[in-house]
A and B are shown apart, each in its own frame.
Chain A
């Protein structure tokens, strides 16, 4: 059966067909849909773990136990899970294990542009890289075969464009795989004596995998018709752009496995075509491999290290780019993403901004609090860094910073890696004020459950971490809960906690306004006669409020009646229906 699937759904289908029985992941754009799609199958186990390290170790446990398993994450998630990855390379697997990692060139939804292929090289594990949905499905299945044949975890590398582009796939049948678990301390206990014996195995495995890269057909040469005096080595979505521009007229070495890379195949290709261009997004991994072999290629001297490519990128290098047909003289204002109308984060950020506090931020929807007009954030680094960071900031501040500095972190991000930072604050006693923005969901990645929500990935009731009890048990004496829709309460509690000579946690609690169970209230409206055009409500940055004909107006299709703007208007001009 033919289906039009996004790359991530195709990966999920491939994992399913290959008999994958357990997936444990942490959400992260552009990888999230793999796990969400897999969760729709009824005869498999699927979960959101608190973070990628836990997810990878859970998947490893499932493999050890004898079931094919997988875990999925975005590129920066692999940093978190790097610890188990490097040693799993030594232990190998029992049943097959596939690790899906999705890079985000162009940073559509990420804080950096790191290239995951470095991990495959560093951890000495094979990495497959599909170029469309059909390959995504095929490579997910192939990943398990390679994993079991070569006794290794296998990385499946996606990128935003492959992950989120739909193309046609052929759906197949599922197979069931179950391996016996047998105790094998020499293989699975990575204490020095055993690990010393496993390292040579890893090096031998890489040799065997290189042979596989040469002969298996995963890498292939597509012979051109001789129109061009050069050939192209490429992989992933760049392959599609090459074909878009050159069709079948140029010879292409299309790589499906990017670690380890073939040697003889590349030498033979060079001998066949003469001049070689390497076209790859981000870092020069294939190019450096060629250069290390002493093969002269054109690569990053012609193509950027930055961002996504497209057919235009290639046309520009080969002087075939014609440019835009139409251009307007009018400048179109930018339309950046923003917090939704009624977003519970907005009220709290308004209070932080009004009090001119230094705010160390974290990863989530609330990173949007950095945007004008609130401009409330000072720092965003990585998952959990707000909580660890404020501790160092206040220690170094020697008392000068702690009364005007807070950090903000979402419920899911706090579960991911905020807890350990808070333990450090409690243990080493910095007078830090931590605000947990508890909107009862993982918001930015599109509403995934987490350990604080009380529901699992399928929406069924699950364990629920009590944030207040958790913070107190760590050793935080002052734990307060506020409603971010109540500006006065937020400001009072915030000032009290900043004054206290001890660590404190403020939980700003209200569910995300986009959650289905959150029923919008009736939209508010502006009484034009009372509006004095002071524009104070515009400082709030609510997308439902705009300014027309010299007074504020509220868009009734966007307003959810949160009434926070009412608390800002000094003239009582913002009214509820029936007033």
Chain B
């Protein structure tokens, strides 16, 4: 199988580490060679964060470069657009429509580009936009946004639903399993 590439992008503190942990766990259990790459430290302080997940028969590089991503899962609206050069022709962008202002916008040095989703669509990109924050709140916590989006991503994979749920059980503390299962289901089934 040719290597598949998933990028998880967002704002430091949004929980992308749990999302990549879940995905990594699932893909190892499915028998793939897997590499997951993330950067810790300075970039976590509310900065733009990116995680690469690659899987296949044999994976060498841990990073995803221009034109290589099959999926970009974005936890924030404009972060999807920041990394769109990484998308493969015919790839899919799953984007949470939540807006988090970066510092240049907060201090008035730049405007928040509200129209990026429309622009991506106008370029022929398959964009799956979803209000994951609202669904996470329905599930019981705004923090479950990450798992709502993993549920959305699961719809594009051929891996059975129960296997994802198994991976959730392995990755979160027992008291949070139910919440995260709910969040996953809402993302998966959202029309």
Q: Is the CB of B115 within 8 A of A109?
A: no
Q: Is the CB of B45 within 8 A of A4?
A: no
- A165 part of interface (Cβ distance < 8 Å): yes
| Nearest A residue to B33, CB-CB | A168
Known contacts: A4-B24, A327-B84, A328-B116. The answer to whether A538 contacts B37 by CB under 8 A is no
Chain B binder among A77-85, A89-97, A386-394, A540-548: A540-548
Residues of chain B contacted by A160 (CB below 8 angstroms): 39
- B1 part of interface (Cβ distance < 8 Å): no
Q: Is the CB of A325 within 8 A of B108?
A: no
Q: Is the CB of A337 within 8 A of B46?
A: yes
- Binary flags per residue of A331-345, CB closer than 8 Å to B gives 1, else 0: 111111111100000
Residues of chain B contacted by A334 (CB below 8 angstroms): 48, 102, 104
- B161 part of interface (Cβ distance < 8 Å): no
What CA separation (Å) do A322 and B112 show in the bound complex? 31
Known contacts: A29-B40, A29-B42, A330-B116. The answer to whether A324 contacts B66 by CB under 8 A is yes
| A28 nearest CB across to chain B (Å) | 9
Which one of B40, B48, B79, B119 contacts A328 once the chains associate, using CB atoms below 8 Å?
Answer: B119
| Nearest A residue to B116, CB-CB | A330
Which residues of chain A from 13 to 55 have a CB within 8 Å of any chain B CB? Answer: 29-30, 32-33
Which one of A168, A311, A535, A538 contacts B28 once the chains associate, using CB atoms below 8 Å?
Answer: A168
What CA separation (Å) do A372 and B105 show in the bound complex? 11
What CA separation (Å) do A108 and B43 show in the bound complex? 7
Q: Is the CB of A311 within 8 A of B116?
A: no
- A365 part of interface (Cβ distance < 8 Å): yes
Residues of chain B contacted by A461 (CB below 8 angstroms): none
Q: Is the CB of B106 within 8 A of A538?
A: yes
Q: Is the CB of B45 within 8 A of A340?
A: yes
| Nearest A residue to B37, CB-CB | A165
- B78 part of interface (Cβ distance < 8 Å): yes
Most-contacted residue by chain B among A4, A160, A326 (CB, 10 A): A326
| A5 nearest CB across to chain B (Å) | 10
What CA separation (Å) do A121 and B61 show in the bound complex? 28
- Binary flags per residue of B117-153, CB closer than 8 Å to A gives 1, else 0: 0011001010000000000000000100000000000
Q: Is the CB of B47 within 8 A of A337?
A: yes
Residues of chain A contacted by B89 (CB below 8 angstroms): 325
Which residues of chain A from 339 to 359 have a CB within 8 Å of any chain B CB? Answer: 339-340
Which one of A325, A368, A372 contacts B109 once the chains associate, using CB atoms below 8 Å?
Answer: A372
Q: Is the CB of B65 within 8 A of A310?
A: yes
Residues of chain B contacted by A370 (CB below 8 angstroms): none
Which residues of chain B from 30 to 61 have a CB within 8 Å of any chain A CB? Answer: 33-48, 59-61
Chain B binder among A60-68, A238-246, A467-475, A488-496: A238-246
What CA separation (Å) do A240 and B63 show in the bound complex? 10
| Nearest B residue to A166, CB-CB | B36
| Nearest B residue to A315, CB-CB | B65
What CA separation (Å) do A241 and B64 show in the bound complex? 11
Which residues of chain A from 245 to 267 have a CB within 8 Å of any chain B CB? Answer: none
Q: Is the CB of A164 within 8 A of B103?
A: no
Q: How many residues of A contact B (CB 8 A)?
A: 60
Residues of chain B contacted by A164 (CB below 8 angstroms): 37-40
Residues of chain B contacted by A325 (CB below 8 angstroms): 66-67, 85, 87-89, 91
Residues of chain A contacted by B48 (CB below 8 angstroms): 334-335
What CA separation (Å) do A80 and B60 show in the bound complex? 34
Which one of A161, A241, A335 contacts B60 once the chains associate, using CB atoms below 8 Å?
Answer: A241
Residues of chain B contacted by A368 (CB below 8 angstroms): 45
- B113 part of interface (Cβ distance < 8 Å): yes
Residues of chain A contacted by B109 (CB below 8 angstroms): 333, 372
- A373 part of interface (Cβ distance < 8 Å): yes
What CA separation (Å) do A251 and B176 show in the bound complex? 50
Residues of chain B contacted by A365 (CB below 8 angstroms): 45
Q: Is the CB of A240 within 8 A of B61?
A: yes
- B179 part of interface (Cβ distance < 8 Å): no
| Nearest A residue to B53, CB-CB | A166
Q: Is the CB of A311 within 8 A of B61?
A: yes
Residues of chain B contacted by A529 (CB below 8 angstroms): none
Q: Is the CB of B108 within 8 A of A335?
A: no
Residues of chain A contacted by B101 (CB below 8 angstroms): 543, 546
Q: Is the CB of B103 within 8 A of A372?
A: yes
Q: Is the CB of B105 within 8 A of A333?
A: yes
Residues of chain A contacted by B154 (CB below 8 angstroms): none
| B105 nearest CB across to chain A (Å) | 6
Residues of chain A contacted by B87 (CB below 8 angstroms): 325-326
- B15 part of interface (Cβ distance < 8 Å): no
| A453 nearest CB across to chain B (Å) | 20
| A446 nearest CB across to chain B (Å) | 7
- A312 part of interface (Cβ distance < 8 Å): yes
Residues of chain B contacted by A332 (CB below 8 angstroms): 78, 81-82, 113, 116
Residues of chain A contacted by B11 (CB below 8 angstroms): 335
Most-contacted residue by chain A among B12, B47, B106 (CB, 10 A): B106
| A463 nearest CB across to chain B (Å) | 28
| B100 nearest CB across to chain A (Å) | 8
What CA separation (Å) do A372 and B104 show in the bound complex? 8
Known contacts: A326-B125, A328-B119. The answer to whether A337 contacts B44 by CB under 8 A is yes
| Nearest B residue to A161, CB-CB | B62
| Nearest A residue to B27, CB-CB | A4
Q: Is the CB of A161 within 8 A of B37?
A: yes
| B49 nearest CB across to chain A (Å) | 9
| A67 nearest CB across to chain B (Å) | 30
Q: Is the CB of A323 within 8 A of B67?
A: yes
Most-contacted residue by chain B among A33, A244, A332, A539 (CB, 10 A): A332
| Nearest B residue to A547, CB-CB | B108
| B101 nearest CB across to chain A (Å) | 5
Q: Is the CB of B113 within 8 A of A330?
A: yes
| A245 nearest CB across to chain B (Å) | 8
Most-contacted residue by chain B among A310, A328, A329 (CB, 10 A): A328
Residues of chain A contacted by B66 (CB below 8 angstroms): 312, 322-325
| Nearest B residue to A544, CB-CB | B106
- Binary flags per residue of A515-554, CB closer than 8 Å to B gives 1, else 0: 0000000000000000000010011010101110000000
- A167 part of interface (Cβ distance < 8 Å): yes
- B4 part of interface (Cβ distance < 8 Å): no
What CA separation (Å) do A543 and B99 show in the bound complex? 13
Q: Is the CB of A328 within 8 A of B60?
A: no
Known A-B contacts: A165-B37, A330-B113. Give 7 more (CB < 8 A): A4-B25, A167-B34, A167-B59, A168-B28, A311-B65, A333-B105, A372-B103
Q: List 12 A-B contacts (CB under 8 A).
A: A108-B41, A240-B60, A241-B60, A326-B85, A326-B87, A330-B115, A333-B104, A333-B110, A335-B11, A444-B41, A446-B41, A538-B107
What 6 pairs across the A-B complex have the smallest Cβ distances? A109-B41, A337-B47, A29-B41, A324-B85, A337-B45, A165-B62
Name A's B-contacting residues (CB within 8 A). 2, 4, 29-30, 32-33, 108-109, 132, 160-161, 164-168, 237, 240-241, 243-244, 310-312, 322-340, 365, 368, 371-373, 444-446, 535, 538-539, 541, 543, 545-547, 557
